[in-house]
Structure 1
């Protein structure tokens, strides 16, 4: 039986627009290094949405990008200092923005938001291709 690998990474970034492409590259490079079985384009797209939400709505001094791979399941979280919870908006054909959390909900196997030290952690989980829901902890 192959042992289950577990990896974690965390990095603080400024909540500026330049952090969005940096977060994408970090996710891509970390997944490649870990040989993670997830689609890197899905992970990059979803982290782009979460980091862009912090830049656009939360502000603050810092955001933290967290990645963990437990077995074959990837969990990505973005922490910020705002307690404002993200919402899935109705689809609008007139608005240029506002579809980010719809993408997260559609692509991720699971996602959520939890209070964290006066702010929040918004997270999503991706499975490897062809795998269903993770077992409940």
Structure 2
């Protein structure tokens, strides 16, 4: 194999890692989540109360905010992060088996809602620099324009809204 001397061989480890995560792979996973769970702009999407549902919710938000609504990458990044925080809170703190995800857009605003069967209210806690948890609602408060909780006869909806520029 004299002709191959000096040529760099592809590294298997690096290419395997690249195959696991890339923008194209993530985009494909996002579209698959939309196909499997439904479109949260058309109806509330029920998701199982498991940690991996945060990834599903992030993918759904990515597809809706970036592709369907055509909003900026920065707004998409913030919305995806905040969806993850609301979902994480629903999974960790409500004891629910299932929660619902809904995304709405109206003139000048987007609204993302997570509904769960618990009537326990989320609490915005002061955050210290070295805290390793408890930052979820702090991030929601800082990155959204407004947020809140609507109590329902059976549970609650925690939501946030962000201002968007309409074309």
Higher relative contact order (CA 8 A, sep 6+): 1
Q: Verify the 8 A CA contact 1:37 1:72 in the aligned structure 2.
A: no
Instruction: Tell me whether 1:74 sits opposite 2:110 in the alignment.
Output: yes
What are the residue-to-residue correspondences of 1:1-137 with 2, within 5 Å?
A: 8-37=42-71, 39-128=75-164
**Do the aligned partners of residues 60 and 128 (structure 1) sit closer, same or farther apart at CA in structure 2, a change above 3 Å counting?**
same
**Do the aligned partners of residues 72 and 37 (structure 1) sit closer, same or farther apart at CA in structure 2, a change above 3 Å counting?**
farther
Q: How many residues align?
A: 124
TM-score (normalizing by structure 2): 0.69
Consecutive unaligned residues in structure 1, runs of 5 or more: 1-6, 130-137
Between Structure 1 and Structure 2, the one with more strand by share is: 1
Across the aligned residues of Structure 1 and Structure 2, the Cα RMSD in angstroms comes to 1.8
Larger radius of gyration: 2
Aligned-residue offset at 1:103: 0.5
TM-score (normalizing by structure 1): 0.83
Give the whole-Å Cα distance in 2 for the aligned partners of 1:21 and 1:117: 29
Q: SS state of the match for residue 98, structure 1?
A: coil
Consecutive unaligned residues in structure 2, runs of 5 or more: 1-40
